[in-house]
Amino acid sequence: MKKNLFRSGFNLIEVTMAIAIVGIGIAGVMALFPPAIEASKSANFQNFTGTMVNSVAAYLDYQLKTDWSTFKGKLKAKASATSPSTETNTDSWTEITGFTGVYKTSQNQDDLLGIKSEDGTIAAHVRIWQDNSNMDKAYFGQTEVTVSSNYRIRLVIELSWPIAKAYADREKQEFIYEFNKPE
């Protein structure tokens, strides 16, 4: 018997098809990277802002407990609340003692604060205003009670980011807190 001198292998068309299939698969996987990176950034921001909004609320609670009437009088309704500027330089912000990550902005107003991460990669403006609607009603369990609005305040804390964009073009998130006057 004669031995076959030719070995079987892949021809050029099969190799080309295999490379094309692998290339399409790699391109599909690579297309997933940008959305995944954006989702990761968004998740990091959400985690950071949750913590920072609690710090801002603690700062507001401290201010209200220190001098209820004066601080309450400084906070305006939404229509007249300060609109953040398009300042991008957070270096001029001064950190509020005792409230890590919460800053007075260069505008230095009580209804406009700033938050930023230690490394400076995350920064947002914080706008604060009073929402006085339906403040005379409170519920204890299912019992409705009338409470003077002199003893309660509802504050809206609005985050807007990125600070490099014009205010109208920013992403925004609002948090609502109610505070009762300390006795």
Query: Angle, nearest 10°, between helix axes 33-66 and 12-31?
Result: 10
The mean pLDDT value of the chain amounts to 83
pLDDT at 38: 87
Give the residue extent of every domain in the chain: 47-180
**124-153: pLDDT as tens digits:** 888 888 887 766 777 777 888 777 767 788
Cβ count within 10 A of residue 132: 13
* Choice between 88 and 15, residue whose per-residue pLDDT is larger: 15
**18-45: pLDDT as tens digits:** 999 999 999 999 999 999 998 888 888 8
According to DSSP H, which parts of 68-155 are helical?
68-74
Question: CA–CA separation, 158 vs 172, rounded Å?
Answer: 7
Question: CA–CA separation, 39 vs 45, rounded Å?
Answer: 10
According to DSSP, residue 82 is labeled P
**165-178: pLDDT as tens digits:** 888 888 888 998 88
Tell whether pTM > 0.85. Answer: no
Question: CA–CA separation, 92 vs 107, rounded Å?
Answer: 10
The percent helix, strand, coil of the chain (3-state, each to 5) is 40, 30, 30
- Work out the percent of the chain whose per-residue pLDDT is above 70: 92
pLDDT at 30: 93
pLDDT at 3: 65
